[in-house]
Structure 1
Amino acid sequence: MYQAGWSKRQLPLKPQGYAMHGYGQWHHRAHATRLPLMCRAIVLHDSHQQHLMFCCLDLGYITHAIREGICERLGASLGRDFNAEQLVLTCTHTHSGPGGCSQDGLYNLVTPGYVPEYVEAIVDTASQTILDAWASTEPTDVSLSVVRFDNDTPVAWNRSLIAYNQNPEVTPLDNHHTHLALDRSMPVLAFRRQGQTQALVSLFGVHATCVGSGQKAFDGDNKGYAARHAEQQLEADGSRNPVAIFAQGTAGDVSPHYHGPGQKRRRKAIHGEAEYQYACRNGEFQSTLALSALEAVGTAIAPHRLEALLSYLHLPGRKADPAYADGNGEAYTSEPCHGVPFFTGTPVDGPGMPGILAGPAAWRARRLRRKRLINVNDPGYRDYQRLYLAQGAKDILLEAGRKQVLGYPLARLPLPDFADPLVAEMKRQARLGALNQSDLVPSVLPLQIVTIGQMALVCCPGEFTTVAGQRVRDTVVAQLTGSGIEQVLLMSYCNDYMGYVTTREEYQQQCYEGGHTLYGQWTLAVFQTGFAELARQLRLPLEQRSYDRDTRPQPAPPTELTLRCNIKPPGA
Structure 2
Amino acid sequence: MRSIDIRRIAVVGALAALALAAPSPSGAATPKAKKVSQLRAGAGQADITPPQTGYYLGGWTRADRLALGQSTRLYANTLVLQRGTRKIALVAIELFAVPAGLQEDVARAVADLGYDRTGILMAASHTHSGPGGYANNPTYNTAAPSPATIGNPSSFIEFIDPKPADPTLYTFLVKQIAASIRRADGDRGLAAAGWASVELRGLTENRSIEAHLANHGLDVETGRGTAAMDPLGADDTIDPAVDVLRVDKFVKRKGKTVRVPIGAYSNFADHGTVVKADSQVYSGDHHAAAWRVFVDKVRRASPAIPKNQTVVNVYPNGAEGDQTAGLKHTGFDGAAVVGSAEAAKMFEAWKLAGKRLSRTPALDVRWTRSCFCGRSTATGPVDSKGIEGAGFLTGSEEGRGPLFDLTGISLEGRKNLTSDPVQGNKVQIPVGAPPAAVPLSVTRIGDGVLVQVPGEPTKEVGVRVRRAVRGPLAPKGIKHVVIAGLAGDFIQYITTPEEYGQQSYEGASTLFGRNQATFLQERYAELAGQLASGAPAEPPYPLDVAYGVKPDGPDYPAGAAAGSLTGQPPATVARGKDVKITWSGAPLGRDRPVDKAFVSAQRLVGKRWRTVDSDLGLHMLWHVDAKGAYDLTWTVPASAPAGTYRLLVSAQRYGLTTRTFTVG
TM range (shorter): 0.7 to 0.9
Report the CA distance shift for 1:70/1:360 in structure 2 as closer, same or farther (over 3 A): closer
Report the CA distance shift for 1:483/1:552 in structure 2 as closer, same or farther (over 3 A): farther
Name the aligned partner's letter for residue 283 of structure 1. G
Q: 2:129, 2:285 within 8 Å by CA — same for their partners in 1?
A: yes
Aligned counterpart in structure 2 of residue 397 of structure 1, from 426, 429, 444: 429
Q: Which residue of 2 aligns with 1:144?
A: 195
Aligned counterpart in structure 2 of residue 247 of structure 1, from 316, 323, 326: 316
Map 1:345-356 onto structure 2 (within 5 A): 345-354=395-404
Report the CA distance shift for 1:298/1:443 in structure 2 as closer, same or farther (over 3 A): farther
Q: Which residue of 2 aligns with 1:565?
A: none
Counterparts of 1:244 and 1:364 in 2: how far apart (Å)?
A: 40
**CA-CA distance at 1:359 after TM superposition:** 7.7
Report the CA distance shift for 1:316/1:174 in structure 2 as closer, same or farther (over 3 A): farther
Aligned counterpart in structure 1 of residue 134 of structure 2, from 93, 101, 113: 101
Deviates more, 1:90-99 or 1:66-75: 66-75
Q: 2:193, 2:248 within 8 Å by CA — same for their partners in 1?
A: yes
Name the aligned partner's letter for residue 484 of structure 2. M
**CA-CA distance at 1:333 after TM superposition:** 2.7
Counterparts of 2:125 and 2:70 in 1: how far apart (Å)?
A: 17
Q: Deviations over 1:324-360 (max 9, x none)?
A: x2xxxx4333421111111111123444522986989
Aligned counterpart in structure 2 of residue 17 of structure 1, from 38, 50, 54: 54
Q: Which residue of 2 aligns with 1:116?
A: 167
Aligned counterpart in structure 1 of residue 333 of structure 2, from 277, 284, 288: 277
Q: Which residue of 2 aligns with 1:163?
A: 211
With normalisation by structure 1, the TM-score equals 0.77
Secondary structure of the structure 1 residue equivalent to 2:91: strand
The RMSD of aligned alpha carbons is 3.1
Name the aligned partner's letter for residue 60 of structure 2. Y
Counterparts of 1:145 and 1:506 in 2: how far apart (Å)?
A: 31
Map 1:24-423 onto structure 2 (within 5 A): 24-46=61-83, 48-75=84-111, 77-78=112-113, 81-110=114-143, 113=163, 114-149=165-200, 151=201, 153=202, 155-168=203-216, 173-174=227-228, 181-193=237-249, 194-237=258-301, 238=303, 239=305, 240-258=309-327, 270=330, 275-296=331-352, 297-301=354-358, 303-320=360-377, 322=378, 325=379, 330-354=380-404, 366=416, 388-400=420-432
Name the aligned partner's letter for residue 245 of structure 1. V
Counterparts of 2:508 and 2:99 in 1: how far apart (Å)?
A: 21
With normalisation by structure 2, the TM-score equals 0.67
Secondary structure of the structure 1 residue equivalent to 2:451: strand
Q: Higher relative contact order by CA 8 Å / sep ≥ 6: 1 or 2? A: 1
Q: Which residue of 1 aligns with 2:489?
A: 496
Counterparts of 1:478 and 1:549 in 2: how far apart (Å)?
A: 24
Counterparts of 2:228 and 2:468 in 1: how far apart (Å)?
A: 29
Q: Which residue of 2 aligns with 1:412?
A: none
Q: 2:291, 2:315 within 8 Å by CA — same for their partners in 1?
A: yes
Counterparts of 2:327 and 2:229 in 1: how far apart (Å)?
A: 11
**CA-CA distance at 1:172 after TM superposition:** 8.3
Name the aligned partner's letter for residue 188 of structure 1. V
Counterparts of 1:298 and 1:35 in 2: how far apart (Å)?
A: 34
Name the aligned partner's letter for residue 42 of structure 2. G
**CA-CA distance at 1:229 after TM superposition:** 1.2
Counterparts of 1:360 and 1:197 in 2: how far apart (Å)?
A: 48
Q: Which residue of 1 aligns with 2:543?
A: 552
Counterparts of 2:436 and 2:229 in 1: how far apart (Å)?
A: 35
Q: Which has the higher strand share?
A: 2
Secondary structure of the structure 2 residue equivalent to 1:281: helix
Secondary structure of the structure 2 residue equivalent to 1:139: strand
Report the CA distance shift for 1:128/1:353 in structure 2 as closer, same or farther (over 3 A): same
Deviates more, 1:513-522 or 1:63-72: 63-72
Counterparts of 1:303 and 1:184 in 2: how far apart (Å)?
A: 29
Q: 2:136, 2:549 within 8 Å by CA — same for their partners in 1?
A: no
Report the CA distance shift for 1:103/1:160 in structure 2 as closer, same or farther (over 3 A): same
Q: Which residue of 2 aligns with 1:432?
A: none
Q: Deviations over 1:57-107 (max 9, x none)?
A: 1111111231121011112x32xx233211111111100001011122222
Secondary structure of the structure 2 residue equivalent to 1:164: helix
**CA-CA distance at 1:494 after TM superposition:** 0.5
Q: Which residue of 1 aligns with 2:504?
A: 511
Name the aligned partner's letter for residue 240 of structure 2. R
Secondary structure of the structure 2 residue equivalent to 1:249: coil
Q: 1:235, 1:241 within 8 Å by CA — same for their partners in 2?
A: no
Counterparts of 1:464 and 1:493 in 2: how far apart (Å)?
A: 9
Name the aligned partner's letter for residue 308 of structure 1. V
Counterparts of 1:181 and 1:363 in 2: how far apart (Å)?
A: 19
Report the CA distance shift for 1:236/1:533 in structure 2 as closer, same or farther (over 3 A): same
Secondary structure of the structure 2 residue equivalent to 1:295: helix
Q: 1:41, 1:55 within 8 Å by CA — same for their partners in 2?
A: yes
Q: 1:192, 1:199 within 8 Å by CA — same for their partners in 2?
A: yes
Q: 1:302, 1:454 within 8 Å by CA — same for their partners in 2?
A: no
Report the CA distance shift for 1:250/1:309 in structure 2 as closer, same or farther (over 3 A): same
Report the CA distance shift for 1:86/1:229 in structure 2 as closer, same or farther (over 3 A): same
Name the aligned partner's letter for residue 64 of structure 1. A
Counterparts of 1:361 and 1:10 in 2: how far apart (Å)?
A: 38
Report the CA distance shift for 1:197/1:288 in structure 2 as closer, same or farther (over 3 A): same
Question: Structure 2: which 5+ residue stretches go unaligned?
Answer: 1-37, 145-157, 219-224, 250-257, 554-587, 589-624, 628-664
Report the CA distance shift for 1:399/1:91 in structure 2 as closer, same or farther (over 3 A): closer
Q: 2:392, 2:412 within 8 Å by CA — same for their partners in 1?
A: no
Q: 1:207, 1:255 within 8 Å by CA — same for their partners in 2?
A: yes
Counterparts of 2:386 and 2:455 in 1: how far apart (Å)?
A: 14
Q: Which residue of 2 aligns with 1:482?
A: 475
Secondary structure of the structure 1 residue equivalent to 2:182: helix
**CA-CA distance at 1:123 after TM superposition:** 0.7
Secondary structure of the structure 2 residue equivalent to 1:39: strand
Report the CA distance shift for 1:546/1:218 in structure 2 as closer, same or farther (over 3 A): closer
Report the CA distance shift for 1:399/1:107 in structure 2 as closer, same or farther (over 3 A): closer
Name the aligned partner's letter for residue 173 of structure 1. A
Q: Deviations over 1:15-45 (max 9, x none)?
A: 3312111012111101212100011111111
Counterparts of 2:185 and 2:412 in 1: how far apart (Å)?
A: 52
Secondary structure of the structure 2 residue equivalent to 1:201: strand
Secondary structure of the structure 2 residue equivalent to 1:123: helix
**CA-CA distance at 1:174 after TM superposition:** 2.5
Q: 1:40, 1:129 within 8 Å by CA — same for their partners in 2?
A: yes
Report the CA distance shift for 1:517/1:352 in structure 2 as closer, same or farther (over 3 A): farther
Report the CA distance shift for 1:363/1:508 in structure 2 as closer, same or farther (over 3 A): closer
Secondary structure of the structure 2 residue equivalent to 1:42: strand
Counterparts of 1:365 and 1:73 in 2: how far apart (Å)?
A: 46
Counterparts of 2:269 and 2:414 in 1: how far apart (Å)?
A: 36
Report the CA distance shift for 1:457/1:557 in structure 2 as closer, same or farther (over 3 A): closer
Report the CA distance shift for 1:180/1:5 in structure 2 as closer, same or farther (over 3 A): same
Secondary structure of the structure 2 residue equivalent to 1:332: coil
Counterparts of 1:532 and 1:487 in 2: how far apart (Å)?
A: 15
Counterparts of 1:167 and 1:208 in 2: how far apart (Å)?
A: 25
